[in-house]
Amino acid sequence: MKKTYIIILALSIVFAASGQIPMLGDRAPEFEAKSTKGDIKFPKDYYGKWKILFSHPGDFTPVCTTEILELADLQDEFKELNTQLIVLSTDGLNSHLDWIKSMEEISYKNREKADIDFPFISDVGLDISKKYGMIHPNNNSTKNVRAVFIIDPEDKISSITYYPDNIGRNIDEILRNLEALQEVYANNKLTPANWVKGESLLVQSPDSKEEAEKLNAKKNLYSLTWYLWFEK
């Protein structure tokens, strides 16, 4: 049993080292692609912006359709956060265009019909999906999995999340995650569980109770115990 674990761990390390699975802190893999908004050089075209790469296994699917409609509903909020949304799937551009056209005729949750203003990338050859570790053979060897990559203005990967095919993504949570990442990107703070914009931030824990006593002198901080400090 131990030998099996060692072999699996070794294979995981080799696979990761090969660059086939991008990790947190890595530079976002580069690619050029055709999109519904024209040719894209990623992430070069969006340097200085936050980027969210939002993948789908296929067009005209019910779960993905509701997710895109929710993204469209919040697209202006993402724009205000200097963030470019990009949708990727293994279908072709004509399929993407037809799907977008059909979604823009849907009144979802009694809202006004969507005006989808972000690009859809075609990855028929799976090249991009492979670069981003989105092909999971035990799930599907010809379609990418449903993933969300959040990439910072310096083109480094800040967040990676995978979702099963049958569970819709929470777009409000993706927006909250982005806001939290932007907050900690701007300063050396931390966000507590369930943090939302405007709430207190955490500061790095002191190494000892003695160090904690020094923080008492800072009027902008408060603590719940010696290792748990918040900024007012």
Contact indicator for 144, 135 with CB cutoff of 8 Å: yes
C-alpha to C-alpha distance for 151 and 47, rounded to whole angstroms: 10
> How far, in Å, CA of 56 to CA of 66, rounded?
12
Which residues are known to be catalytic? Answer: 64
Quote the strand ranges of the chain, DSSP E.
31-35, 38-42, 50-56, 83-89, 120-122, 146-151, 157-163, 201-202, 221-225, 228-231
Q: Which of 118, 62, 60 is nearest to 92 (CA)?
A: 60
The DSSP-derived string for 67-79 is HHHHHHHHHHHHH
Partners of 50 in the β-ladder: 83
Total residues found in the chain within this entry: 232
| Type of residue at 212 | A
| Partners of 198 in the β-ladder | none
**How far apart are alpha carbons 206 and 161 in whole angstroms?**
30
64 contact partners, CB below 8 Å, separation of at least 6: 56, 57, 58, 89, 146
